Homo-oligomer: A and B are copies of this chain.
Amino acid sequence: MKSLGIVVEYNPFHNGHAYHIQESLKATGADLVIAVMSGNFLQRGEPALVNKWARTKMALKAGVDIVFELPFPFAAQQADIFARGAIGILEAARCNFVCFGSEEGQIEPFLQVQSFMSQCQTEYNSSVKEFSKAGYSYPKASSLAFKKVAQDTELLDLSKPNNILGLQYVQAIKDSYSIQPCTIQRIMADYHSTELGTHPIASATSIRKRLFEESLSIDSVKNQVPSSTVKELLHYLNQYEAFHNWELYWPLLQYKIISSSSSELAGIYEVEEGLQNRFKGAAESAASFKEFMESVKTKRYTWTRLQRVSLNILMNRSKDQMAAESREPAYLRLLGATDKGRQYLHQQKKKFDLPLITKPSSYKEKLETDILASMIHALPLNPANQTLIRKREFQPPVFLDHEKGS
């Protein structure tokens, strides 16, 4: 079996994701899809709309065969660390391909830029530093540094978010492994678009926005997601009485910031350059997460970066912890699989480079940070549901039998 790896968040799974799977299979001729999916908190420093179990079911029902969890220390991170974790897991699971969506749509420019970058890595790094010092946010500084070292050779448009992320995937692939990168063109005009039209393909951002604007009415997004997503969203809302966004966590974040000393906050991952004092001042008077964010925002920090800082504070992650845990992935935690996926795991698992975790209760210590993320993600729910979710962490993965549709 040829296996295709994909890196996903599915927040929630929508028609564009189905298109990505379908086109990636076409492009690679693979027989099986392995997704590495962020757990309960996402790259932009946000809580997932619905938890990882609901999103695993959406994935398995819509064409994915195996879902591994991208651990928290990689999931809520800047592009290079996120990519290192995701590619590391797909490599360890012995995927033949990794296929990502990009604005570019062709793999050659990525390979050319990677080769070019490996030659002038030192120059590029010092240039990023310079632009950062000049007050640019990290993504902007990276893009400017690239333009500078590339001296206007227009190999790849690195102002586009999925091109940036794609380049990080290609760079994360190690010479010693044989995973083959490929890309398909994204068919959305604008990744960050928040306006949801009638087009069957829309960004997850616009779908979430619509859900919250329309009093969590799942009907309002049913044209943009497959019926399996509709079913899971309905089930989630019925069981947990909530979709998650930052506002639900604001009382906890506010309390954490107010009750921590400046020096305690300064020890948190990504809290840098006096940010702790800005955060403390803003937390005292903000009436909501949105108000808080607006009050700490400056040109120097992107919204995403500040959300990640907030998340690290909420999760109480120290600089030391995160540095140690984000070096390399240390395990393959199985969230779910179809029959075909289980067959693959059975055949291949002896060759995996990392321990495959299917019985989480035997790996409590290794999984500590992900379990904490699940418990914190569940804190806005009622006590009975919190207990359900805590127990769920130690139960077997989601096994879906496609034949039976269970």
Contact = CB atoms under 8 A, between A and B. Distances in A.
The quantity of this chain's copies bound in the complex is: 2
Interface string A347-382: 000000000000000000000000010011001000
A253 to B, nearest CB: 9
Nearest to A380: B251
A286 B256 CA distance: 20
Interface residues of A, number: 26
Given A284-B390, A384-B287, A390-B285, A376 B258 contact: yes
A223 to B, nearest CB: 37
A387 interface: yes
Contact of A284 (B258, B286, B315, B375): B375
Contacts of A264: 316
Most chain B beta-carbon neighbours within 10 Å: one of A258, A259, A264: A259
B284 A376 contact: no
A258 B383 contact: no
Contacts of A375: 258, 284
Given A252-B255, A390-B285, A260 B383 contact: no
A167 interface: no
A395 to B, nearest CB: 16
A288 B376 contact: no
A390 B255 CA distance: 14
A360 to B, nearest CB: 15
Given A315-B259, A316-B260, A285 B376 contact: no
Interface string A247-289: 0000110111011110010000000000000000000111110
Interface in A300-316: 314-316
A255 B376 contact: yes
Contacts of A372: 258-259
A384 B387 CA distance: 33
Given A260-B316, A316-B260, A379 B288 contact: no
Contact of A252 (B252, B260, B376, B384): B252
Contacts of A286: 383
Nearest to A284: B390
Contact of A256 (B259, B287, B383): B259
A390 B372 CA distance: 32
Contacts of A285: 387, 390
Given A260-B316, A316-B260, A383 B287 contact: yes
Contacts of A316: 259-261, 264
Contacts of A288: 383
A259 B314 contact: yes
B284 A379 contact: no
16 contacts: A251-B251, A251-B252, A251-B379, A255-B255, A255-B376, A256-B256, A256-B259, A258-B376, A259-B314, A259-B315, A259-B372, A284-B390, A285-B387, A285-B390, A287-B384, A287-B387
Given A259-B315, A260-B316, A264-B316, 11 more contacts: A251-B252, A252-B252, A255-B256, A255-B379, A256-B256, A258-B375, A259-B316, A259-B372, A284-B375, A287-B383, A288-B383
- Nearest 6 A-B pairs (CB), nearest first? A287-B383, A259-B316, A252-B255, A258-B375, A255-B379, A284-B390
